[in-house]
Structure formats: C-alpha cells, structure tokens
C-alpha cells in the first residue's frame, strides 16, 4: 500500500472512531477481491457493545450506524424484541372485548 493511501485510511478510521466508539482502531481495511462479502466497501472491526462482551466482528463501514453487537448478541436482541412484541400484542388482545366466536358448522362424516 502506498504511504499516502495508508495515511488516508488512518485518517478515515480516526473519523469513524469519533462517530462510532465501538470501532477497533487499526482494523480498517480496503476490500480486496477475495473479500467479496463486503461488495467493494471498506470494512472495519467493531467490539461488541454488550456489557462484558469482548467479541470482535468485521462489518462494512456503511453498517457502522446500525451494527453495534456481535452476531450472537444481535441474535439475542432480535429474539428479545420479538418476545416483547408478542407480550405487547397479547396484552392488547386481552384488553379488547372478546368477540363471540362464530360457530363452525359441524362436519358430518358419512360412513363409507
Ligand atoms: Zn457480544
């Protein structure tokens, strides 16, 4: 890498660190052809912001605003959100007066 390129990258990383404190310094990388995962974007490592978690995760710099957790904690957060949404839904359903269930016509089973 050319020295001015490295300098530019370091400056870019410093800027990112200011906005996103979970960025791991020294981890900003240009995308190489082998890293097709990030679709020609720069990638950077982040440290999971979950208390006590030290897991590092490589993400595209464009995802920094959304991604602050490691994959495991992202999964847990998603499950928790779903559980909470379900609880709210249930509570609201309980508030509503119950609708009388329409009676289904009994199925007549004719012996063959
Ligand atoms: Zn984590």
Summarize pLDDT for 38-82 with one digit per residue, the tens: 666 899 999 999 999 999 999 999 999 999 999 999 999 999 999
**Residues in the 5 Å CB sphere of ion ligand 1:** 48, 50, 53, 55, 70, 73
Where does the pLDDT of residue 112 fall: very low under 50, low under 70, confident under 90, or very high at 90 and above? confident
Q: Residue 98: beta bridge partners?
A: none
CA gap 31, 23 in Å, rounded: 17
Tell whether pTM > 0.75.
no
Percentage of residues in the chain having pLDDT higher than 70:
84
Distance 29 CA to ligand 1 centre (A): 22
- Residue spans of the domains in the chain: they are 3-88
6 touches 30 (CB < 8 A): no
Q: How confident is the model at residue 3 (pLDDT cuts 50, 70, 90)?
A: confident
Ligand 1: centre distance to CA 71 (Å)? 7
Distance CA 55, CA 47 (A): 6
CB 49 within 8 Å of CB 68: yes
**d(CA 67, ligand 1 centre) in Å:** 11
């Amino acid at each position: 890498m050319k020295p001015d390129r490295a300098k530019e990258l370091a400056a870019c990383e410093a800027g990112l660190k200011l906005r996103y404190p979970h960025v791991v310094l020294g981890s900003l990388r240009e995308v190489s052809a082998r890293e097709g995962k990030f679709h020609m974007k720069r990638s950077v490592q982040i440290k999971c912001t979950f208390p006590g978690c030290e897991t590092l995760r490589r993400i595209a710099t464009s995802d920094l605003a959304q991604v602050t957790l490691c994959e495991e904690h992202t999964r847990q957060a998603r499950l928790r959100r779903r559980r909470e949404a379900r609880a709210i839904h249930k509570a609201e359903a309980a508030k509503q007066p119950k609708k009388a269930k329409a009676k289904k016509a009994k199925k007549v089973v004719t012996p063959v």
